[in-house]
Chain A
Amino acid sequence: MTWCGGKPEPAFDAPWHAQLFALTVALNEAGHFGWPDWAERFGATLKAHGLAKELDGGEDYFNAWLETLEGFLQDLGLAEAAVLRDLKEGWTRAYLNTPHGAPVHLAAGEAAG
């Protein structure tokens, strides 16, 4: 394990980490859930994931974050699992239908379905 103090690191390693972080902060600020409730749930997910392997605080940390947010929003009735699954499939098709280099829009994944 390297702790690596010296050079400045980017705040987020991947764009989706940043997006996920921002979504969670925005939902908290809009009053959809309190931060202590969020932290408790997130801590529980980390603990569950950490049983199988030692988490490195990078990608696996945000995977746990994502799973927590999806579950929390389902419990709150704000994001239904089936709708999320459809949207994810729609985005997947959109990427596959969009020529490399062009901006990807969800609509590109809808027509094919």
Chain B
Amino acid sequence: MPHDHADHPHSHLPSDPALRVKALETLLTDKGLVDPAALDEIIDLYQNKIGPQNGAKVVAKMWADPDFHAQMMADPMPVLREMGLYGRQGEHMVFVENTDETHNMVVCTLCSCYPWPLLGIPPGWYKSDAYRARSVRQPRKVLEEFGVTLPEGQKVRVWDSTAEVRYLVVPQRPAGTEGMSEAALAELITRDSMIGTALAKEPGLQEGGA
């Protein structure tokens, strides 16, 4: 952090890629191809406003409301549009539901396709080679590394997201959550549980247990 050596009075020089991004931004702005204010808005949106809480709200409502659930499983797009959860990288969503028979998990083997409007920006591990390659070949092993051990009889189905279709896992509703409000249910639904690398939290467990 300290950078006030007397012999280096100039500004801290950004990294090579950071300077290349500045060059791109300067050129594209000068050409009128992008608007710096729009860039700031995009960053603010994904840094501060959009995140897994959006997806959790939807899943909690699916748990609580059978009609809503049926609608989302049939065609979620009209409802998502109505809820304002439509847009960039969420134009075509498919919800895949965990059952006693099948556990679902989502990957993007091509790059890092991910439902931004519902989950925000993907975590580093989702973008890593380790996850992208291995979740298809050894899903159970990967799940174990996440601390998820599935019953023997439960199959694992891996969904490969693309630039066109994005998947969201609907985790199983934990026992002992009858009568809980949607807001309380949403607290149990983590980002990882909607990627399929975790289960929904048990009620009564405090944050940080995962």
Contacts and interface: CB of A to CB of B under 8 A. Distances in A.
B74 interface: no
A97 B9 CA distance: 9
Interface residues of A, number: 67
Interface stretch (B64-72, B93-101, B125-133, B151-159): B125-133
**Interface SS of B by simple majority:** loop
A69 B33 CA distance: 14
B83 interface: no
A84 B27 contact: yes
A26 B39 contact: yes
A10 B17 contact: no
Contact of B26 (A27, A30, A106): A106
Interface of B: 3-4, 8-15, 17-28, 31, 33-35, 38-40, 42-43, 46-47, 51, 88-89, 110-113, 120-121, 123-131, 145-147, 162-164, 190, 192, 197-198, 208-210
Contacts of B4: 100
A113 interface: no
A21 B190 contact: no
A55 B128 contact: yes
Given A55-B129, A62-B17, A9 B124 contact: yes
A94 B121 CA distance: 32
